[in-house]
Amino acid sequence: MSQNSRKKPNILVTGTPGVGKTTTSSLLADSTQLRHINIGELVKQKNLHDGWDDEFDCHIINEDLVCDELEDIMEEGGNIVDYHGCDFFPERWFDRVVVLQTNNPVLYDRLSNRGYQGAKLSNNIECEIFQVLLEEAKGSYPEDIVIPLQSDSVEDISRNVGMLTDWVRNWQPAS
């Protein structure tokens, strides 16, 4: 099957933890009727991991199992994939890769409120400072489909969701 046989687009929403991926993806799914796939939740629910990483305090995701699990529905199209990593998904899956970004003091407060502290907090703040996810996205997908969007405020979320909703409505399958 060719990469563009899907009838609805697939969007990847990525960025450092806390930038607003889940909030944005969930609102976008409501406004477009696309399916929101939170990879972290999927990994937990379907045991697509190789145990728990004590150092990083998270599951050790099994990337092959995740890709196998998603292959059919990604081919079908109409998915919003939400994850803080982006280099292991097949490039052909996505029509848009949105990289959310947040100003550091704002992100620090969001992650502290989530209970992050010590190395987990500082690693994620550094990840945002060095634009790790933006570089990863640019290295993994064609540059013209990678869109950085600022996500500091509630107004930013509304604007981003509105803009992406318009994009989905105007998307045309390849003929």
- Binding residues for ATP, as ranges, are 18, 20-23, 114
The β-bridge partners of 102 are none
| Nearest alpha-carbon partner for 13 in 106, 87, 67, 82 | 82
Shortest Cβ 66–ligand DAT spacing (Å): 17
Annotated binding site: 18, 20-23, 114
Task: Read off the amino acid at residue 87.
Answer: D
Other Cβ atoms less than 10 A from the Cβ of 41: the count is 12
Other Cβ atoms less than 10 A from the Cβ of 13: the count is 31
Shortest Cβ 153–ligand DAT spacing (Å): 5
| Nearer CB in complex with ligand DAT: 157/168 | 157
| Nearer CB in complex with ligand DAT: 10/151 | 151
Tell me which residues touch ligand DAT (CB under 6 A). Answer: 15, 17-23, 110, 151-154, 156-157
The β-bridge partners of 97 are 12, 146
| Nearer CB in complex with ligand DAT: 48/80 | 80
